[in-house]
Structure 1
Amino acid sequence: MSTARRPAASGPPQPLLTTMAIVASCAAFVVIGALQALYGPAIPALRADYGIGPAVAGLGLSGHFAAAVVGVLVYHLLRARLGHRILLGASYLLMALGAVVFATAPDWPVALAGTLVMGLGFGGVDYGLNHLFAVAFGRRSTAMLNVLNGHFGVGAIAGPALVGWLGAEHYPGIFLGLAALCVLIVSTLGGVASREPEPVAATASSGTGSRVAPVIAAFIGVYVLHVAIETGVGGWEPTHLEAVGYAATTAATATSAYWAAMTIGRFVVVPLCLRLPASAILTVCCAGMAGFLLLATLPSAAPYAYFGVGLAIAPIFPTCLPWLNRSVPSVGAAGAYVMAASMVGGVAFPPLLGVVIDGLDVRALPAVLFALAAICLLISFRLRRNAPDPNGPSTSVPASAGTTSPSEVHT
């Protein structure tokens, strides 16, 4: 794997990310994937340790996401002043500190405070590394972002599996181990460039100058809707499958397969990202989401259809970030806006979907989510028209694609 390059004022190009930093970044995404996925399996032990109900225990995950939104925005606001190296280091240390507090807390309020600290660091790492990968690899950024976010899925699968193997009562040791990994990753930050190149004014010729706000709003719509579908399936698939006649064990297995598909899809799409523009990938993914959700209305096909939904959702988040940066290069905060919006959607949508399902029936889940996917598909068509991606991958990837020329770097 080659290093990502940035232009220097004189002399040879300096790397935005060295090979070691790229590997460490993927390891960091395994860590944050595991941290996010560990709350659910740890809830039985949390209730036993602190004498709390399930709703109170669930505040840990809600607090984590709320703090993560703040972490994203703070990182963005301080990025130009402090640089990536300092902010990533601080984010890793916040995650480590939060994990230690959560694992050793004497009571629930202290443990909840630990989740907030962890969430701040989580948001910083999530935004900082996604942003770096979006600007560091030129035409290969979409592929590299799918690789990076695929490792998040690896962590999200490995974390609960580790809890299942060791037992929920050993969750403090698992969190302490992840804290130690965060501290180790800090030692690799010498391979991360503190500063990025200045935005290239010539790249604003995409025709979106007078439509910046609508373009950003459309990307936010895609992010909010696909996260809503992602969390909707992940949270309600077991209940829906049981309601249409499947055994609880089958429903649980199918849901695990859905989350595995989210990881598989990101790795599978990597070679396609080098050949197809992001706009085409988004449209196919949105159409796939809609088609598989429609298929999920058939009880006999539902478990397999949900696996297909996972495959279709998987590339959307990492594929759209470089396209967004290329479409509105003059708005450095665009990435922060859409990531923060997607996190807010992940917190707000599950309760809203619960209200809708209470008013209808859980059997209506695929139809409700299909409607959201159809809207997402319409937005993808609008983006293809209003935010063309002339700098995206073409059918011929140059041999020098491993490095980034000044004209290929956007912030």
Structure 2
Amino acid sequence: MLSPVPVNAQVAAGPWQARQWFWLSCGVFGVLGFGSALLGPTLGDLAQALAITLPLAGSIRSGRQLGQFVASVGCAWLGAKLSTALLGLAGFLCYSAGLLLLLLPVGLPVAVLAAVLWGLGQGGLHVVCNAEVVARMGDQAPRHVAQLHFWYSLGSIAGPLLVYLCRLTGHWGAAYALAAGTMAVLGSRLFRHQATPVSELNRAAKPRLPIGLAVLAAPMVAVSAVNMMNAGLADWSYQNAVLVAAAGPAAATAVTSAFWISVAVGRLISVRLVDLLGTGPLLVGSAAVATLGTGGIVLWGPHIPSLTAATALAGLGIAPLYPLVTALGAAATDSPTTAAGVLSAAAAASAALGPMAQGFLGGGQDGGMVLVAALALPLVLGVVLTVRQDRARKVTLSGAH
């Protein structure tokens, strides 16, 4: 039997508390995006500080990915047993501790452990904030989730810029310390009180029972496909432009920047479009745009202006898909935290596997973008089925009332 997502009592009690909570969540997501963009520009600095080679420093990124995956699985398992306040507190403590520990020159094993802690915090906070928006905002959740992820994009853009400014002062590690300190302040304010009440029934139940594969199968297909697309474009757009279009550093950077800027713009626009068009039509339209963009990357790869335009089009289409599919998937269950954790784990696993598969497919000749284009099929299928499932759920709930 389907159950409506509970609305938090604090939201019903006063709109000011709801707005304050939501903007704090946006701040947390901004710091998550900011932190996620720190590792790339500082990987060489970390390798030098730890006295290791640059290839070995890549294990720090692997450690963070592992932490994110474990946190997502943990939230999926514990989401119906523990309050989101406890999960959120654990998340921001791991996040801040991991970033600060990473700055200590204590060798690679401790650095990898720090990265795992960082990833645990990153993954846990990502799941908890998404789930709480769904639990608190009801029918307005898709718009608010889209806005939440727009702040993540803003943070991702700001991260490398702040690293550059910190490096000018001779203290690149200050960017890590700033992210850790800001998260500690925001997280402690956001999770001071228990958020969504957990009923005694949900505490006694096993998390997997009220969820069910039938409910989350379609959203899992969609988020896995879109996250694999996103990771592939993020990691391989630069090299693909160099290999296929013989692009120089400036042109290859422009292609990569076109993707990230279009993702940020797409998420900002989606906040408005979700009210104008509705979540379902926006999702289907975005999947179609992403399909056109990724297909264009393969077809027009040797032509730099066309490649740049196709990459930007793919970013626009991809931008709202993960937030909105997560909102619909989590709303389909009586435990949004568990559902968001399951979807986040699927997304994290696909993001780890996709770029590696692209490397093998490309074989040093291109960026393996044929895989990104092929992912359009499961993406469209997952999105269409998720939208149909959401409509059926709403009809069932309205009939029950």
State the TM-score, normalizing by the size of structure 2.
Answer: 0.85
Q: Structure 1 17/192 Cα, relative in aligned 2: closer, same or farther at 3 Å?
A: farther
Q: Aligned pair 1:354/2:354, yes or no?
A: no
Q: Structure 1 76/347 Cα, relative in aligned 2: closer, same or farther at 3 Å?
A: same
Maintained 8 Å contact 2:221/2:379: yes
Q: CA deviation at 1:197?
A: 6.3
The corresponding residue for 1:127 is 127
The corresponding residue for 1:116 is 116
DSSP-derived class of the 1:195 partner: coil
**Which is helix-richer, 1 or 2?**
2
Q: CA deviation at 1:193?
A: 4.0
* 5+ residue gaps, structure 2: 1-5, 203-208
Match of 1:369 among 357, 368, 372: 372
The C-alpha deviation readout for 1:244-300, integer Å capped at 9, x for no partner, is: 132221111220221121111111111111233333222111111111122222133
Maintained 8 Å contact 2:259/2:311: yes
The corresponding residue for 1:55 is 55
CA distance in 2: counterparts of 1:211 and 1:386, whole angstroms: 14
The C-alpha deviation readout for 1:215-243, integer Å capped at 9, x for no partner, is: 42221111111111111111111112122
The C-alpha deviation readout for 1:123-156, integer Å capped at 9, x for no partner, is: 1111000100122111211010011111111111
- The number of residues matched between the two structures is 380
- Indicate the larger mover: 274-283 or 130-139: 274-283
CA distance in 1: counterparts of 2:292 and 2:345, whole angstroms: 28
Identity of aligned residues (%): 22
The corresponding residue for 1:104 is 104
CA distance in 2: counterparts of 1:102 and 1:69, whole angstroms: 19
The corresponding residue for 1:403 is none
Maintained 8 Å contact 2:73/2:345: yes
CA distance in 2: counterparts of 1:333 and 1:8, whole angstroms: 20
CA distance in 2: counterparts of 1:29 and 1:165, whole angstroms: 22
* 5+ residue gaps, structure 1: 202-208, 393-405
The corresponding residue for 2:391 is 388
Q: Structure 1 165/250 Cα, relative in aligned 2: closer, same or farther at 3 Å?
A: farther
DSSP-derived class of the 1:290 partner: helix
Q: Which runs of structure 2 are paired with 1:146-157 in the superposition (5 Å)?
A: 146-157=146-157
DSSP-derived class of the 2:375 partner: helix
Q: Aligned pair 1:310/2:311, yes or no?
A: no
CA distance in 1: counterparts of 2:386 and 2:81, whole angstroms: 32
Q: Structure 1 163/77 Cα, relative in aligned 2: closer, same or farther at 3 Å?
A: same
Q: Structure 1 377/15 Cα, relative in aligned 2: closer, same or farther at 3 Å?
A: same
Maintained 8 Å contact 2:146/2:267: yes
The corresponding residue for 1:251 is 252
Q: Structure 1 88/376 Cα, relative in aligned 2: closer, same or farther at 3 Å?
A: same
The corresponding residue for 2:195 is 194
RMSD value over aligned CA atoms? Answer: 3.1
The corresponding residue for 2:262 is 261
2:376 alignment partner AA: A
Q: Structure 1 389/199 Cα, relative in aligned 2: closer, same or farther at 3 Å?
A: farther
- Indicate the larger mover: 113-122 or 368-377: 368-377
Q: Aligned pair 1:224/2:229, yes or no?
A: no
- Indicate the larger mover: 128-137 or 271-280: 271-280
